[in-house]
Amino acid sequence: MTSGTNPATTIALCGPIWAKYNLLRTANAIGLPLTGVLSEPDSVGKYANFQHSTGGTTAHASIHWTPDTGAWSIEGDIREKWLADGGTSGPLGYPVSDVSQVKDGAGTPIGYISHLTGTPATGAAAITDGNNTGVNELHGNIHARWQATGGVRGPLGFPSTDETPTPGGGGSYNHFRTPGAGADTGSVYFSWDTGTWALYGAIRERWAALGYENGYLGYPTGNEYDFLGGRRQDFQGGYVHWIPGTTTDTPYAPQRDIATADLTGDGKSDIAAIWDDGSLMLYPGDGNTHLGPAISMWPDQTWNGMRLTAGGDFNTDGKADLVAVSGAGNLYLYTGRGTITGGAALNPAIPLWPNNSWATIRDIAAGNLDDNPHADLIAIWDDGTLHTYPNLTP
**pLDDT, tens digit, for every residue of 179-192?**
999 999 999 999 99
Mean pLDDT of the chain: 92
pLDDT score of 126:
98
Are the C-beta atoms of residues 284 and 294 closer than 8 Å to each other? no
C-alpha to C-alpha distance for 90 and 111, rounded to whole angstroms: 24
Q: Residue 354 in 3-state DSSP?
A: coil
- Residue 204 has φ and ψ, to the nearest 5°, of -65, -40
User: 350-368: per-residue pLDDT in tens?
Assistant: 999 999 999 889 999 999 8
Q: Residue 163 in 3-state DSSP?
A: coil
pLDDT score of 115:
98
| Pairing outcome for strands 195-200 and 225-227 | unpaired
pLDDT score of 27:
81
pLDDT score of 304:
79
C-alpha to C-alpha distance for 325 and 362, rounded to whole angstroms: 10
pLDDT score of 5:
64
pLDDT score of 4:
56
Q: What is the pLDDT along the chain (394 residues), one digit of tens a residue?
A: 566 566 667 788 999 999 999 999 988 889 999 999 999 999 999 999 999 989 888 999 999 999 999 999 999 999 999 999 999 999 999 999 999 999 999 999 999 999 999 999 999 999 999 999 999 999 999 999 999 999 999 999 999 999 999 998 889 999 999 999 999 999 999 999 999 999 999 999 999 999 999 999 999 999 999 988 999 999 999 999 999 999 999 988 777 889 999 998 899 999 999 988 788 999 999 888 888 888 889 988 888 788 889 999 999 999 999 999 998 899 999 999 988 766 678 999 999 999 999 988 999 999 988 878 889 999 999 888 999 999 888 7
User: Which residues fall within 8 angstroms of residue 95, CB to CB, at 6 or more apart?
Assistant: 64, 69, 72, 73, 74, 82, 114, 115, 116, 117
pLDDT score of 342:
64
pLDDT score of 3:
63
How many residues are given for the chain? 394
Q: Does the predicted TM-score (pTM) go above 0.85? A: no
